Amino acid sequence: MSGSRIAVFGAGAWGTALAQAFSASHRVSLWGRDRLHLSELARTRENHRYLPGVALHDALIVEPDFDTVARNADLHLVVTPLSGLRDTVRRLQRLQPGTPLLWACKGFEAGSGRLPHEIIAEERGDAAACGVLTGPSFAAEVARGLPAAVTLAARDAAFARHWVGVLHQPRLRIYANTDLIGCEIGGAVKNVIAIAAGVADGMGFGLNARAALITRGLAEIARLAQALGGRSETLMGLAGMGDLILTCTGDLSRNRRVGLALAEGKTLDDILRELGHVAEGVSTAREVVRLAHRHGVEMPICEAIDALLHHGLNARSAVERLLARDPREE
């Protein structure tokens, strides 16, 4: 098969979906931390745990050896949860320094509050030959070949254009962008707003309330992005408004489901155990509020969700706190 050799690190839903999508045109190897899980993938040609019912492409290689995957690639694509990004990039830098790198992780590093590109810069020494793949895309739909459009953002415009040209497909359309910060902020904070939308929906507040939350949530995201050096127009595109709308309204959204369950009165521990997947908005809420305070950015929706998730506030009180805010100009 012609095409690039792509190494995908992370065999969850999104990592498997991207590996599946790119396998039609490229030589793709998929690696994950759980060897038993990888063995099942290789044997059954299906990711029963995260993407049941999707047959893996015949050409997709499931490879349990990290070193083999890393050394035989033209592109490294990291699709672990954000908590695994630093360790994965550190290992890649030791084995195959300088290989072009994309990541599809969203959120802020717990404790440090670092965005993914900041983690990359610390581990690689700079942010060259790197970029983020982000945008409105549910893994189950991408894995089944349904149409989607995402953004590839990198500070180096030539790098972004090159890999867009390589990876772009009729059913997975990719658009280049140079606003790395804006794209990462959009992808991270929308998960927190989606939890809020789930809470409002679960409490029966209706479609008007959902629309208001999405719109005001987008304003919060844009304020933070601008404070950190991002561009406001980025948040009007796929990595901002597109991703936010999908995550706040789609039933496949894990973060929205967290909000729906919180509205039912379930505990966060029970919700996450039943979910079986990582919901990045849970940890992101804490970090985004810390970052907002540090930069003097007003983010009342994110603050209410952080209080609900981590400081004992109940769902009804969280919503009432937002409704009780003083009127102001939009």
**DSSP, residue by residue, 70-93:** HHT-SEEEE-S-GGGHHHHHHHHH
Is residue 79 within 8 A of residue 8, CB to CB? The reply is: yes
Domains and CATH numbers, the chain: 5-178 (3.40.50.720), 181-323 (1.10.1040.10)
| Residues 6 or more apart in contact with residue 311 via CB below 8 angstroms | none
End-to-end C-alpha distance for the chain, whole angstroms: 54
**pLDDT tens digit sequence for 47-105:** 999 999 999 999 999 999 999 999 989 999 999 999 999 999 999 999 999 899 999 99
Quickly state the pLDDT bin for 2 (edges 50, 70, 90): low
Q: Which sequence positions are flagged as catalytic?
A: 190
CA distance 186 to 251: 20
pTM assigned to the model: 0.93
